[in-house]
Amino acid sequence: MRPTLYEFAGGDDAFLALARAHHARCLADPELNHPFSHADLNPEHVQRLAAYWAEVLGGPPRYSALPADHSSLLRMHAGNGDMGDLGRRFLECFVAAADDAGLPADPEFRAALRAYMSWAVDDVLAFPDGAAVVPGGLPMPRWSWDGLQSR
């Protein structure tokens, strides 16, 4: 049986390394720096991000246990207006962070990660209007080697 993307990546340690590397890349990016350098960004941001990605990609439900859900994640990012090029930059930082974190270089694995993050960026940016209402109780998405499995 094929391992989950979470297992293939290396589990919790791999996702924590990925979240740290991604956050560092976003801080170094001249456009992404601003949203990632806010003083109100909780110090646990990297741990929450790692838990979210791990859960979505087949790991244990640690993000959901915070308590948090997909609706809360979307609400955090809603109402920011047109994000222009930030989504593409975020995706490129994620792809490069996979190298920085030493995740497996397997082409199929990397393609699955990129496909997930491309979908996730579109999903997060789906509520640009400040008046947009994010529905409550959205289940956590589940992503596998074959793409989106449930939402």
List C-alpha distances in Å: 62 to 56, 58, 59, 65, 90.
10, 11, 8, 5, 23
* Global pTM value: 0.87
Low-confidence stretches of the chain (pLDDT < 50) are: none
CATH superfamily of 5-150: Globins (1.10.490.10)
The string over 33-44, giving b where at least 16 C-beta atoms fall within 10 Å of a residue's C-beta and e elsewhere, is eeebeeeeeeee
- Give yes or no for a contact between 64 and 48, defined as CB atoms under 8 angstroms apart: no
14-56 pLDDT, tens digit each: 999 999 999 899 889 887 766 655 555 556 888 989 999 999 9
- Whose structure tokens read 């646990």? 44
DSSP string for 51-88: HHHHHHTT--STTTTTT--HHHHHHHHTT----TTHHH
- What does the pLDDT read at residue 63? 86
**CB neighbours of residue 148 within 10 Å:** 15
Q: How far is 137 from 20, CA to CA, in rounded Å?
A: 28
The pLDDT assigned to 70 comes to: 76
Q: What is the pLDDT of residue 3?
A: 97
What residue type is 81 in one-letter code? G
Looking at residue 14, what is its pLDDT? 98
pLDDT value at residue 29: 87
Q: What is the pLDDT of residue 130?
A: 61
Q: From start to end of the chain, where are the E strands? A: 142-144, 147-150
